[in-house]
Structure 1
Amino acid sequence: MTIHMRNLSTATAPQTQPRNFQHEALRLGLQLYTRLSAEGAAKLVERLAFTPDRLPMPSRYEYLLDLADSHTQLHHGPHTLPIYSWGDGPTILGVHGWSGAGIQFGAYIEPLVAAGYRVVLYDAPAHGRAQGERTDLYEMTEVLAKVAHQVGPLHAIIAHSLGSIAAGRALVDGLDASRLVLLAPPASLSEVVNEMGHQMGLSTDALAEHRKRMETRFGGDVWQQLSLEELAPQLRQQGLVVIDSDDADVSADQSARVYHNWPDSELMSADGLGHHRMLRAPQVVDAVADFLTRDRVVPH
């Protein structure tokens, strides 16, 4: 099943000039550093790759944190991570992406709570209000499983961007949920790393060195372990994949490959929303809420 939607009124705005300037300065700096010290540049790239940008929380939803029915914590290693929940009923867990925060799913709280569900959101290490400076996708997967076991059982998971790979990995490893929504899922960590290398302006040799360091750190099978398109055939959940043709961060083609490899999934295709606006676009929120609450009988 495929749903097509178009909304040009919410087309993705161009990047601001300061962000472009910082991005270009980083590219030039890395290119110069690579000429001076390939090893030093590789270490810097590795550090940058595991350090999320702790972006400001979406101000339109931050007030909802103070209205949460429950605010608990998860102790993970030396760090404390916040967990918030709203409502009662079957639990729906939100899993944010890289440099994101749980409250990015704020638009889903009201409709899902009104439909008789409990919404749980959290911040992964080094994200949002959580402690920590660096993290990686394996740790994000481990934390997801810990949160799920603390707040579960789960009815469903909604995941965005890189959080989709964490969700897929956790579910294949045994985490239980009936339904799964993936918003702009990347096909694999390998493609995410290649795109990062392109954005940083890394040479072919520099990118190859970074990938080699990743394999040394996580094992040679890291690319297979964290390939969502390879995990998708093993997913037993009913699924919905949401893609946008104007997504500049994760191409619609990548997300579509996840959908095509996932036996029991539906596809919602939009354009004009981009990578982040799909998180709050009313037509996406409505479609996701409908999918998650479908066939639910609320007792009177």
Structure 2
Amino acid sequence: MSSKIYFKKSQGFDMRRKLINLTTRLHHRIAPEHAKRVARKVLLTPARSNKAMEEPVGMVRNPIKTSEGMMMTYSLGEGPTWVLGHGWSGSARQFYSLMEHIAHSGYRALAFDNPAHGESEGQFGHLPGFVAAFDSILAQQESIAGVVAHSMGGAMVLESRHPLLQDKPVLLVAPVLNYTENLVSTVKLSGYSMKLFHGVVDDIAVQYQYPLESINPLERLNGRQAKAVIVHDKYDRFASFAYSELASENQHVTLIATEGLGHGRILQSEQLKNGFDLLTDK
């Protein structure tokens, strides 16, 4: 259900949207606490992909204990570590092709499944939980060479304040740099009760001391000094290319624009590997 909310971009009047709005508002009015519990399941439950993919030879799986529960990690290669973080309803498996490229380039690729994704623990997924799990994984590394992140994973990386990231390069793939605006607008377009949505979000904000209005990945990227490369398709339907263009006005940010790769296929592209090579001078 949540993927249909977050990734459906239909415009104009929609009877289904109208019905969702009426029923969720009525539910909230009649049974507010029950409505909020249902809303958590609807809004915070990602789709766990069960698509079979052949693992690269030499891949090492290792569950790591974090503040968000056990997170499954996937390591390939030897050398300085690049950490890879996926987006909403994604998994580390999306990075297999890039991980092989990273390993062949003389580095260790360390990917992980976010909370409630892939083979990691957790029932609900949200950005504060993503950041907490990511920080826990970084805390268990002696050092890192850089970070790769896709979609909502880009917001996760940019929102993190972990000291290991301070001067490290980042490779952002189809990042959602206008995270808060994008989240609110897509839920609103779905027809879901905004009062219920804000009730769920406010509970998370209190739990993690992380108010929604404080989240601003574009601002964080603008304030970084380390090199960044963005690989983004011009016609991406889920993450605004315009914000990546805006970010590329910074001297430390390089934009690689693609066409016809969309939001997901871009992860298997040669352009993405080229973006990695730009950051490692390969």
The TM-score range, normalised by the shorter chain, is 0.7 to 0.9
SS in 1 for 2:145: strand
Q: CA deviation at 1:218?
A: 0.7
After TM superposition, the structure 1 stretch with the greater mean CA deviation from structure 2, 25-34 or 153-162, is 25-34
RMSD: 2.7
Structural mapping, 1:186-205, within 5 Å: 186-202=176-192
Q: CA deviation at 1:73?
A: 1.6
Match of 1:135 in 2: 125
Structural mapping, 1:208-287, within 5 Å: 210-211=197-198, 213-215=200-202, 217-218=204-205, 222-260=211-249, 262-282=250-270, 284-287=271-274
Match of 2:3 in 1: none
Match of 1:207 in 2: 194
Determine if contact 2:171/2:276 at 8 Å carries over to the other structure. no
SS in 2 for 1:279: helix
Determine if contact 2:74/2:110 at 8 Å carries over to the other structure. yes
Q: CA deviation at 1:46?
A: 3.9
In structure 2, relative to structure 1, the CA distance for the partners of 1:223 and 1:77 (3 Å cut) is closer
Structural mapping, 1:45-194, within 5 Å: 45-57=39-51, 59-60=52-53, 62-64=54-56, 67-68=58-59, 70-77=60-67, 79-170=69-160, 172-176=161-165, 178-194=168-184
Letter in 1 for 2:110: V
Matched residues in 2 for 1:233 and 1:248: separation?
23
SS in 2 for 1:37: helix
Matched residues in 2 for 1:101 and 1:79: separation?
16
In structure 2, relative to structure 1, the CA distance for the partners of 1:25 and 1:270 (3 Å cut) is same
Matched residues in 1 for 2:68 and 2:269: separation?
37
Q: CA deviation at 1:232?
A: 1.6
Letter in 2 for 1:104: Q
In structure 2, relative to structure 1, the CA distance for the partners of 1:91 and 1:265 (3 Å cut) is same
Matched residues in 1 for 2:128 and 2:16: separation?
26
User: What is the TM-score with the length of structure 2 in the denominator?
Assistant: 0.82
Determine if contact 1:74/1:81 at 8 Å carries over to the other structure. yes
SS in 2 for 1:242: strand
Letter in 1 for 2:44: F
Uncovered stretches (5+) of structure 2, i.e. residues with no partner:
1-6, 9-13
Letter in 2 for 1:247: D
Determine if contact 1:90/1:118 at 8 Å carries over to the other structure. yes
Q: CA deviation at 1:274?
A: 0.5
User: What is the TM-score with the length of structure 1 in the denominator?
Assistant: 0.78
- Give the paired residue count: 264
SS in 1 for 2:140: helix
Matched residues in 1 for 2:200 and 2:55: separation?
41
Matched residues in 1 for 2:61 and 2:220: separation?
32
SS in 2 for 1:63: coil
SS in 2 for 1:274: coil
In structure 2, relative to structure 1, the CA distance for the partners of 1:263 and 1:226 (3 Å cut) is farther
Deviations 1:26-55 (A, max 9, x none): 746523413532445565444322211112
Q: CA deviation at 1:114?
A: 1.4
Q: Which of residues 270, 277, 281 in structure 2 aligns to 1:290?
A: 277
Matched residues in 2 for 1:55 and 1:112: separation?
24
Determine if contact 1:238/1:264 at 8 Å carries over to the other structure. yes
SS in 1 for 2:258: strand
In structure 2, relative to structure 1, the CA distance for the partners of 1:127 and 1:25 (3 Å cut) is farther
Matched residues in 2 for 1:278 and 1:197: separation?
25
Q: CA deviation at 1:175?
A: 3.3
Uncovered stretches (5+) of structure 1, i.e. residues with no partner:
1-18
